[in-house]
Every structure is written in structure tokens, then in C-alpha cells.
Amino acid sequence: AQSVSQHNHHVILSEAASLELGCNYSYGGTVNLFWYVQYPGQHLQLLLKYFSGDPLVKGIKGFEAEFIKSKFSFNLRKPSVQWSDTAEYFCAVNADNAGNMLTFGGGTRLMVKP
Amino acid sequence: NAGVMQNPRHLVRRRGQEARLRCSPMKGHSHVYWYRQLPEEGLKFMVYLQKENIIDESGMPKERFSAEFPKEGPSILRIQQVVRGDSAAYFCASSPDLFTTEAFFGQGTRLTVV
């Protein structure tokens, strides 16, 4: 069975700092990779996804993620965070043998100080 | 086009009572997924349903939990004889078909068992 680990549970940054959130998965087959964001009191929203092709994926709100197959990683990055990026971020994997089911990481709570 | 609607948003039950959580998928979506998020943990897959069929319930606890998605009406996640350990946020997601590997999430139902 696949698993997903997010290294940082809590991250605190000042505005304009750069962000990188780690995500590693364990599964030897083909995967689809996702980052979701959950703003306080709201539903999960898709930030970006990787299915195939260019391993550097650009998403909404200036976020990007890079799929490094050899490292089983899909880290999320943003060059300059804003206070409005304060949220919880979830990495998720859909394995090729799992239909549409997603396996989520434990989440990273990001707080951006104004 | 309304998103995935879950109700209630918050539900409080005493130990031993029943909890019913409802999920109305997006219009045109016939695939529904339920996930549970325990405190300080990531989302865990519970069950995958299509209209009138349970496709995969590998994540459902063996006892007290059941799910349905009738031909008409919302999907229902039912928890009988709730215990404190059932306290969690329950999220529903929907997708239009098996080939769309992107699910749209509702805002979740936060169940508290007292």
C-alpha cells in the first residue's frame, strides 16, 4: 500500500519569505500527485497536480511543485509567501492501482506573519 | 454550479447515539468518496461509491459504519453507537467519472462525540 509523508507539521514564515514544503511517497508504480490547500473553515482546494510530462508543475496563486521520481518526492514551493497563504497544505497520491482514491499526507500547517 | 455540499457542518452526538452525515455531489457527478480526518492527522480514505453501488469500502471500520448513495438524494455516511474515537472531520469528494483523477471536496462535517 502506498503512503505519503510530509516532513513539517507546522511552519511559520514572515511575509515575502520563500516556502518549500516537503512531500515523499512510497509506491513503486505510476502515481498521480496532488497538493491541496485548506484555508481556515473552508473545503480542500486543489493547488496543482502532476499526471505526466514536465515534472515542474505550476499551480494557482504562484505555487509550483517538482516531481523527482528518483527521490519519490513532490515538494511544494512558492518564492514569496503572503499572509493570505496561511492555511493547511496536504500532499496526496493516487496510485495506478487505486482507482480514484487518494492517499494523503498528514498535512502541514503554514502560518505567515504579516 | 454548486460545489460539493455537506451537512451538517457541525454535529454533536452523545456516546451511543447515531450520526448521519450527508453529501450532495456536484451536479453531474456520480462518484462519491468519503474521507476521515482524525485530529492532527491527514485524511484517510473510507469508502468509494457510485449510484446505488459500493465500489471500495476498504477504509471503512468493520463495525458501526455504513455508507450508501441511493439513486435519488445525497450520499449518507452513517455511524451507529458513536464512541469518542469517532470524533473527527468527515470529508466527502465527488468526481464525474472513473477517468477523471481529480475529486472536488466539500467543506466537511465535524463530528464531536461527548
Beta strands in chain A (DSSP E): 3-5, 10-14, 19-21, 24-26, 31-38, 44-50, 56-58, 64-68, 73-78, 87-95, 103-104, 108-113
Contact B107 A42 (CB under 8 A): yes
The per-residue pLDDT for range A74-91, each reduced to its tens digit, is 999 999 999 999 999 999
The per-residue pLDDT for range B18-72, each reduced to its tens digit, is 999 999 999 989 999 999 998 877 899 999 999 889 999 999 999 999 999 999 9
**Confidence band, pLDDT 50/70/90 cuts, at residue A95:** confident
| Residue B43: closest C-alpha in chain A | A104
More confident residue, A90 or B1: A90
Distance CA(A2)–CA(A25), nearest Å, equals: 7
Share of chain B above pLDDT 70, in %: 95
Cα-to-chain-centroid distance, residue A77: 9
**Confidence band, pLDDT 50/70/90 cuts, at residue B13:** very high
Q: Residue A112 is placed in which grid cell?
A: 505567515
Chain B nearest C-alpha distance from A104 (Å) = 6
Residues of A in contact with B95 (CB under 8 A): 100
Distance CA(A87)–CA(A93), nearest Å, equals: 20
From the list A4, A44, A100, which residue is nearest B95 (CB)?
A100
Chain B nearest C-alpha distance from A108 (Å) = 9
Query: What is the per-residue pLDDT for B101?
Result: 63
Distance CA(A82)–CA(A39), nearest Å, equals: 13
Query: What is the per-residue pLDDT for A97?
Result: 64
| Residue B35: closest C-alpha in chain A | A102
Substitution target from A3, A45, A94, A100 for chain B, most B beta carbons within 10 A: A100
Count A/B contacts: CB-CB distance under 8 Å. Answer: 61
